[in-house]
Amino acid sequence: MPKLFRTEITERLNLRLPILAGGLQWLADAHYVAAAARAGIMGFITAASFEDDQALRREIRECRRLCDGKPFGVNISMLPKGASDSRIESMVNVVADEGVSMVETSGRNPEAYLDRLHASGALVMHKVPGLKYALKAQEIGVDLVAIVGSECGGHPGEAAGTFVQACLAAHQLRIPYLVGGGVGTGAQLVAALAMGADGVLVGTRFLAAEEIGAHPDYKARLVAATESDTTTILSSLRNTMRVLSNETSARIQALERSHAGLDEILPLAAGRIARQAYQDGDFNHGALSVGQAVAFIDRVQPLNAIVDTMEREAREAVSRLARLGSPFTASIGTE
């Protein structure tokens, strides 16, 4: 079957579809990222999930073995703001030494690390919660940006929605960009491309993939969830986070309403609690990053099957446009 879309992302990375599977803290390991590569998209190992440089290096090498020559990336988060510069630099050095194809940075300005990463041959994509940050990233020399809307899981900041940002970016960015946040269907991919994006960044939609190393009870909760089963926390700390609605999120919101301080709130949102929830399936505890695209999760299935579904949905969306008389659709997927 001919390639459905040709964008700068698909051509530079030799991808089946212009979809990148964003880094998932504690969950995006070699097994998952290699599954993305085999499905014809690209994923990112989350560097901060590993306790030291040696563990990260082993994971990268295992991923390379499993990918069988297909490209994969590594996510380097610079959150929280107090994260050690030396730790970030050591992760950058491991990634550069290992010749990783692409790096997804987030959280802080990555300018200090661009020369090192570019010298290793890596493309650098900076993930941002708003257009103004994307413009700054463009100015410092990243290769592409991913702009996430308020619908996304994790840290969307105080951003506008994905549709608004996608259209704004088309008028102001010169470098390729992806959009994410609430994206989990092929129809949304088509819409993003129509608005000017080069692809989409998907996270939540893949959380129930078989290759995700999380407890079956956690995945079952995601299958049962709707778009209304997420909420935001930590806004009072200027670090807004979209998470699964559960006992922890309710407790944090109550503390925020009472104007509680950092010392009372942050222990409830500790990453170790979320990690434990993925291991034992207790989804009632922990700040579990989940976006509104959880509404599109209807079963646990292999990642490749999810990508197949998104491709079918995209083809159906293109066909709907053709029935409306759109001339541009005539050549799509026929090359």
Q: What is the DSSP letter of 76?
A: E
Residues facing residue 19 across a β-bridge: 200
Instruction: Give the residue from 63, 5, 36 showing the smallest Cα distance to 315.
Output: 5
188-192, 221-225, 234-238: segment of lowest average pLDDT: 234-238
* 250, part of any domain: yes
Sort strands 177-180 and 144-148 into parallel, antiparallel or unpaired.
parallel
Note down the domain range covering 103. Answer: 8-206
In whole angstroms, how far apart are CA 224 and each of 25, 49, 98, 171, 277? 22, 27, 40, 38, 17
Q: Are residues 75 and 184 in the same domain?
A: yes
Task: Report pTM.
Answer: 0.93
The CATH number for 41's domain is 3.20.20.70
Residues facing residue 102 across a β-bridge: 73, 123
CA 297, 9, 145, 119 dihedral sign is positive
109: CB partners within 8 A, 6+ apart:
136, 137, 140
257: CB partners within 8 A, 6+ apart:
none
Q: What integer is the mean pLDDT of 208-227?
A: 98
Q: Are residues 68 and 158 in the same domain?
A: yes
Angle between helices 85-97 and 53-67 (to 10 degrees): 30
* 327, part of any domain: no
What is the pLDDT at residue 80?
Answer: 60
What is the pLDDT at residue 328?
Answer: 54
